[in-house]
Structure 1
């Protein structure tokens, strides 16, 4: 901080900060400098600010205040509205809409829905019969299958379906035998496996499979022995792991595998401790974490945790909790960590504690406690990345009508200041100052000339002038000089050949000449030489721009015309171009541009055609391609290109097919994918993250506005900003920030 007294006297500086740690000031007569260490996170309602007061020799003073942005929120539990009735031995199921369906409790058939936007509950239509200790499984159709349970003292074999579209329940085929305290799992085929449980006091070993297409059940062999209060976990292979459980003679340590392809059950490695009322969590690595529970053969309530490795079929001990716990919940967070909440303690009390398990370190750390004790509750990961804990008991109340929502504080989305104008097919470029230039795109009335500048320090927008030509579906790149080159695109007159330069110092635009032909949906790539490669856009031609001379010239032609493709600069200095379309034909081929001689050469083709997909250079030097439009429709698949071999390998599947989305490389090396278009659900709110180490995808929260043809920008702070796009109500002005 520098200041000056018009009278020339020496100045005194006084610093105060609302949070964080302030170091000793280093001062001169006109300057003062401190080192301020920000807190790891901010409690709700707290603003990170600091103020400097400057006083001269006459004791006249002035002050200035600053606000620090980019500090994540601290983890919190926030109470929701009250349920209509207390619930225990119930189920909670996340619907495709993002709402949560809660069913069951003692003699009640009343069901309730939770709205995560308003944090309120409202009643839905009742089940066809009262039930508790049942199961509820979300089907691929969006319907929910509820099976078995106990209602008013009688165990039932009945099953019913909830249709969220109509809010109604209808009976479906009944199981072959009545059961409660059983387990259910959705198989990769879309069928549902149900196993074990109790009926008339006897533990069951039987299992059956429900087919939603025919609404019928079929027997599928039996487990090695009867068990209830056990857990089913679907592995990456599609097999189902059975762990723990209770029998009349004790609790079980033996684990089993069910193979849906053969219907066979086989023993696998045994747990080190028998347990029931435990939790199982499929980790992003594909391993399974088992925590706590109760042992009848050993030490009672367990503090131990174990990891199952499907590759070896073996269990190993992992970090233990500081106390024994059962009837708790364990939820996999988007970050890959596991949230353990509440539960029944060894001394008989219910717990308020919450813990986080880190698979990287295999250690537990405490996180913010629940607002009230609860055990025998249910927990659901919401689409926002938050966790809903609902119902249960606090040890004194037989069933709780309360619920609360856990916010991890990290890896979350939040709104920031909106653009002044909604725009789709816009471009966003990070400037050396850390500001973001958003330019062009289409409004509700046509292509835009306007541009806006986002300041991450105060999260505000200001005008960045107007381009010389309105344009959308164009290319832009940051030049080594700090200026931004914009080229081509389309407007109400059709494709344009105009190019221009933005100068951040003057916030002005100037012509950069014309392309040899109009282009849109082309690709723009900054080369190591500082020159710019422009490829495709309805033509096989490519051009160079030389910032030093301001001249455009031709370079070698692509092997095929293409638009809506990707162009990625590789570590070798070559450029990988993938997919796109020519006229109505989609393309699977890929080619390499060599700047050394200006030539193109074919490389291995992708497994499928892709248009309006994404391509991201990973730290390994490989390129991740995701989604897009294929010949058979919009794609959920991803592929990895290896520049060393010129070949492609599968990179798993996203949770949903998407095109016209974004993909952003995070500082951690992971890739964040946001939004896009899908004909079935329409514009997508969902986001997900790809981890190159495990080659696994996971959900990563939900945008506040579904959008496609938007822009995503990695800020200097490590946050990702999403701007513009096409929304259900037209071009979007809402802007959102992601905290990884």
Structure 2
């Protein structure tokens, strides 16, 4: 009797009763139903916000001291053009069209695939870029451009580099100077009856831009292996991975696993370490996640940790194994010091092996875990950048690529969510008082928050392109008075570990939730 009722009248009633129950549930709980269902793992994996439009493909992004982002890479339909455009995005205005300002590049230079770094006063520097020659792009030029966020203007600096560079790396030195290395000068061109052929040439000699804008060539440090046309992968020139080590010299991690030290004094001295690490690819990210410690994603899903704190050989240890091979992915040091990697593909710049899910690396355990899944692939010419609210903007990809990605997504890390599985954002402490004037290194200062402080972290504002954020640095500031609303801490010990410039200051409450950062200046 019961079975007959269920199969006849019961099923008929369920057919109409279930939609009614669902409608009533949604009516009573509204948008909270979606938040709970979609965000139940948010405290473990984080969550992506909605896919949103960008005016250009953000091939390069840089965070400025006022909390806004400058991005550039293409025109408004995703095409590489001569002078390009640049975009200013104000994250405080959200992700609507009113949050973006698109401005013309009037410098008469093309900053496509330029090198980039911050000046100590917060302005952005762009070194080299693309040039049009022999009816082809992807040659190079030696121009230097400066972006001033106080006026939103990009201007050409009168003192050019000595060498033309396309895909060069710029490193901020402890004294506020910049060393520029690598990059291609010209490309292969077979020629025509009227146009002579050209061959690919590179710029294997680094140079230093002094604080007054002059240039000093490191003629004694020329190397095709460290940052030129050689190395086992043949692309040492392709955005060389380089950082200042705690002794004030430059450390260079080759795409092929070789490692070098560069002394930038005088005409320069380059030496090669005996130690090596696993072979890598120029399409894989490396990032300094702690003072003198680099996490480098190598080939075949392996990661290496390179410790350059000692005065001798670098110490290389395992950084664990990623779940997926991620060519053209991006690595971002989060506000808590963990490293998040998103995007990439196991098969190169195509969709066959594209990874929508992301991975998070714990620096204490060296373990990787799966995190949230994006709406769209991020491949060649994509970027990711930590924002002052502790989230990450990730966007771009294309030109060339299987997709023209005039869009972005914001990733909200696990530390922003309540730990009860509700998927709701956790209440955040507020920084009530923090320094507003420039501080020096190893200087004591006080911070006041709206609730008791249990941790303080510092992250240098980033500049990222081509799977490399060359500016970011992370610090855990020792907090002996933790548990109080007012605590006293010190800035990092020296300019060797914390180059002069601007840093995001986060305070953390007992629940492990960070404040929105205050941006402070050290110099």
TM-score normalised by the chain length of structure 1: 0.47
CA distance in 2, matches of 1:130, 1:701: 30
Cα shift at 1:209: 1.2
1:696-715 pair list within 5 angstroms: none
CA distance in 2, matches of 1:302, 1:220: 35
Q: Secondary structure at 1:400's aligned position in 2? A: coil
Equivalent of 2:46, from 67, 72, 75?
A: 75
Match of 2:260 in 1: 256
Check the 8 A contact 2:456/2:508 in 1, yes or no.
no
Equivalent of 2:155, from 170, 177, 180?
A: 170
Cα shift at 1:93: 0.5
CA distance in 1, matches of 2:388, 2:181: 29
Cα shift at 1:131: 3.2
Match of 1:529 in 2: none
1:441-590 pair list within 5 angstroms: none
Check the 8 A contact 1:76/1:406 in 2, yes or no.
yes
Distance 1:664 1:281, change over 3 A: farther
CA distance in 2, matches of 1:239, 1:137: 17
Check the 8 A contact 2:457/2:505 in 1, yes or no.
no
CA distance in 1, matches of 2:503, 2:142: 37
CA distance in 1, matches of 2:301, 2:318: 11
Cα shift at 1:700: 9.8
TM-score normalised by the chain length of structure 2: 0.65
Distance 1:371 1:265, change over 3 A: same
CA distance in 2, matches of 1:315, 1:304: 13
Check the 8 A contact 2:172/2:179 in 1, yes or no.
yes
Equivalent of 2:410, from 405, 412, 423?
A: 405
Q: Secondary structure at 1:266's aligned position in 2? A: strand
CA distance in 1, matches of 2:33, 2:263: 47
**Structure with higher strand content:** 1
CA distance in 1, matches of 2:57, 2:386: 21
CA distance in 2, matches of 1:417, 1:392: 33
Check the 8 A contact 1:99/1:116 in 2, yes or no.
yes
Per-residue displacement from partner, 1:473-506 (whole Å, max 9, x unpaired)? xxxxxxxxxxxxxxxxxxxxxxxxxxxxxxxxxx
**Structure with higher helix content:** 2
Equivalent of 1:279, from 282, 285, 295?
A: 285
CA distance in 2, matches of 1:277, 1:84: 25
Match of 2:271 in 1: 266
CA distance in 2, matches of 1:279, 1:407: 21
Instruction: Point out the structure with max Rg over C-alpha.
Output: 1
Distance 1:718 1:317, change over 3 A: closer
Cα shift at 1:354: 0.9
1:375 aligns with 2:379: yes
Match of 2:248 in 1: 238
1:98 aligns with 2:67: yes
CA distance in 1, matches of 2:294, 2:44: 30
Equivalent of 2:215, from 200, 217, 222?
A: 217
CA distance in 2, matches of 1:46, 1:305: 34
RMSD: 3.9
1:126 aligns with 2:105: yes
Cα shift at 1:401: 0.5
Equivalent of 1:195, from 178, 181, 190?
A: 181
1:9-158 pair list within 5 angstroms: 45-46=35-36, 75-79=46-50, 81-87=52-58, 90-105=59-74, 106-108=80-82, 109-117=84-92, 118-119=94-95, 120-128=99-107, 129-152=109-132, 153=137, 154-158=139-143
Cα shift at 1:79: 3.4
Q: Secondary structure at 1:46's aligned position in 2? A: helix
Check the 8 A contact 1:689/1:700 in 2, yes or no.
no
Distance 1:98 1:80, change over 3 A: farther
Distance 1:665 1:307, change over 3 A: farther
Cα shift at 1:360: 0.8
Cα shift at 1:273: 1.3
Match of 2:466 in 1: none
Equivalent of 2:392, from 387, 391, 406?
A: 387
Match of 2:477 in 1: 690
Distance 1:721 1:271, change over 3 A: closer
Match of 1:290 in 2: 296
- The worse-fitting range, judged by mean Cα deviation, of 399-408 and 410-419 is 410-419
Check the 8 A contact 1:186/1:192 in 2, yes or no.
yes
Distance 1:203 1:44, change over 3 A: farther
Cα shift at 1:411: 5.7
Match of 2:305 in 1: 307
Cα shift at 1:124: 2.6
Q: How many residues align?
A: 392
Match of 1:326 in 2: 327
Distance 1:100 1:653, change over 3 A: farther
**Residue segments in structure 2 that go unaligned for 5+ positions in a row:** 1-31, 75-79, 187-199, 229-235, 419-424, 459-473, 481-489, 493-497, 517-523
Cα shift at 1:636: 5.3
Cα shift at 1:345: 1.7
CA distance in 2, matches of 1:404, 1:280: 22
Distance 1:412 1:209, change over 3 A: farther
Cα shift at 1:265: 1.9
Check the 8 A contact 1:384/1:700 in 2, yes or no.
no
Check the 8 A contact 2:457/2:476 in 1, yes or no.
yes
Distance 1:316 1:663, change over 3 A: farther
Cα shift at 1:111: 0.3
Check the 8 A contact 2:290/2:475 in 1, yes or no.
no
CA distance in 2, matches of 1:220, 1:170: 26
CA distance in 1, matches of 2:180, 2:400: 30
CA distance in 1, matches of 2:44, 2:326: 28
Match of 2:13 in 1: none
Check the 8 A contact 2:426/2:513 in 1, yes or no.
no
Match of 2:205 in 1: 206
CA distance in 1, matches of 2:508, 2:145: 46
Check the 8 A contact 2:416/2:514 in 1, yes or no.
no
Check the 8 A contact 2:110/2:131 in 1, yes or no.
yes
Cα shift at 1:261: 4.5
Q: Secondary structure at 1:302's aligned position in 2? A: helix
CA distance in 2, matches of 1:157, 1:215: 14
Cα shift at 1:405: 1.1
Q: Secondary structure at 2:415's aligned position in 1? A: coil
Per-residue displacement from partner, 1:279-337 (whole Å, max 9, x unpaired)? 11112253111113xxxxxxxx5311111111241323320213322211101111111
Distance 1:127 1:351, change over 3 A: farther
Q: Secondary structure at 1:410's aligned position in 2? A: helix
Check the 8 A contact 2:57/2:72 in 1, yes or no.
no
Q: Secondary structure at 1:79's aligned position in 2? A: coil
Match of 1:446 in 2: none
